[in-house]
Amino acid sequence: MKAIVVTDQAAGTAGMTLTERPEPSAAINDVIVQIHASGFVPTEMEWPSTWTDRAGRDRTPSIPGHELAGVVAALGYGTTGLSVGQRVFGLADWHRDGTLAEYVAIEARNLAPLPGDVDFTVGASLPISGLTAWQGLFQHGRLQAGQTLLAHGAAGAVGTMVTQLAREAGAYVIGTGRAADREKALDFGAHEFVDLENDALEDVGGVDLVFDVIGGDVQKRSVALIKAGGTLVSVVGPVEARPADGLAVDFVVEADRAELGEIVQRARDRRLRTNIGDVASFDDAIDVLNPTTRRSGKTVIRIRP
């Protein structure tokens, strides 16, 4: 099969090559998916799981990409709940070969049915950003209606999902980002926008929840804004600061079939708009995954035209 592989962590996405790899075989409870579209998070090249197996052993050449939409091609021994020919979408295991390939082997529990009226490109754009937003807001952040949320990077892939889901849940959303992101963040539903390059974050006042996708100094300054009993949720590694009287949580997104179902249903009925940036063919993927100018939105590769 055709696949994009990486062998050199220092080279990042510039080290990607489109090559031939053996088709994967299905282990117990696995599904082989013929991939139609794959989403991509650029920071994947920095994640240890792109380079090693669960025991820390080198697993290069590895196939990156962890979001997919496609069609079930085969089932492993004991796999139930999905059938050959079914449209699916989901989140591949971090430590296994990923979705920038014609086929992937993936545990069935990491997949959900993709309704027939949802395009594969849309399906591939949702798993990481949608699940990260859902889990950060509702499981880790325990967001309630009427609370105030500070949503960093609100025009980004995760941030636009955070903003929309939080608004639907009845929260007041203060989005942040670069000056150029203001219109997009407001368009996706932020009530206010703080330009981190020019505005004073400290002017925001008290918030119940901070959803951090940036880290560093921005995270440290945000913690001081959290009201007593509030929470910092971070998806950019171990938290670097904690609220004086509240919780700090960092987490890595997990696949969840029921939550994928909630997210795709919202995309179908327009409660959730996708934030898709570049869409490219498999042959053009490496160029698109190595942009020379600032890009916005989730990059999706159409593995099958």
Residues that bind ligand NAP (CB under 6 A): 41, 43, 128-129, 132, 153, 155-159, 177-178, 181, 196, 213-214, 218, 235-236, 252-253, 294
Task: Pick between residue 41 and residue 72 the one whose CB is nearest to ligand NAP.
Answer: 41
CB of 10 to ligand NAP, least distance (A): 18
Q: Of the two residues 79 and 99, which places its CB atom closer to ligand NAP in the complex? A: 99
Alpha-carbon span 262 to 165, nearest angstrom: 11
Residue 147 to residue 41: CA distance in whole angstroms: 29
Q: How far is the CB of 146 from ligand NAP (least distance, A)?
A: 26
CA 16 to CA 100: how far, in whole Å? 10
CB of 132 to ligand NAP, least distance (A): 4
Taken as a whole, the chain contains a residue count of: 305
In single-letter form, the type of residue at position 65 comes to: G
Q: How many CB atoms lie within 10 A of CB 169?
A: 16
We find the least distance from the C-beta atom of residue 188 to ligand NAP, in angstroms, to be 11
Shortest-Cβ-distance residue relative to ligand NAP: 156
Position of tokens 């921005």? 218
Q: Which amino acid is at 132?
A: T
Compute the least distance from the CB of residue 34 to ligand NAP, in Å: 25
Our CB check for ligand NAP shows the closer of 3 and 239 to be 239
Instruction: Give the distance between the most distant pair of CA atoms in the chain.
Output: 57
**Residue 83 C-beta: closest distance to ligand NAP, Å:** 30
Three-state secondary structure call for residue 71: strand
- Is residue 213 within 8 Å of residue 222, measured between CB atoms? no
We find the least distance from the C-beta atom of residue 178 to ligand NAP, in angstroms, to be: 5
Nearer to ligand NAP, 76 or 277 (CB): 277
Q: Given the DSSP bridges, would you call strands 298-302 and 276-281 parallel, antiparallel or unpaired?
A: parallel
CB of 189 to ligand NAP, least distance (A): 15
CB 75 within 8 A of CB 82: yes
Would you say 70 or 159 has its CB closer to ligand NAP? 159
Six-digit token string for 235: 């998806």
Euclidean distance between CA atoms 199 and 254, whole angstroms: 34
Decide whether 220 or 304 has the Cβ nearer to ligand NAP: 220
Query: Please, are residues 58 and 7 in contact by the beta-carbon 8 Å criterion?
Result: no
In this structure, the strands spanning 246-250 and 276-281 are unpaired
Q: Of 80 and 198, which has the nearer Cβ to ligand NAP?
A: 198
Nearer to ligand NAP, 214 or 263 (CB): 214
Closest to ligand NAP by CB, 106 vs 235, is 235
Give how far the C-alpha of residue 216 lies from the chain's centroid of Cα atoms, to the nearest Å: 20
Smallest separation, CB 185 to ligand NAP (Å): 9
Structural tokens at position 96: 């296994």
Q: What CA–CA distance (Å, rounded) separates 78 from 156?
A: 39
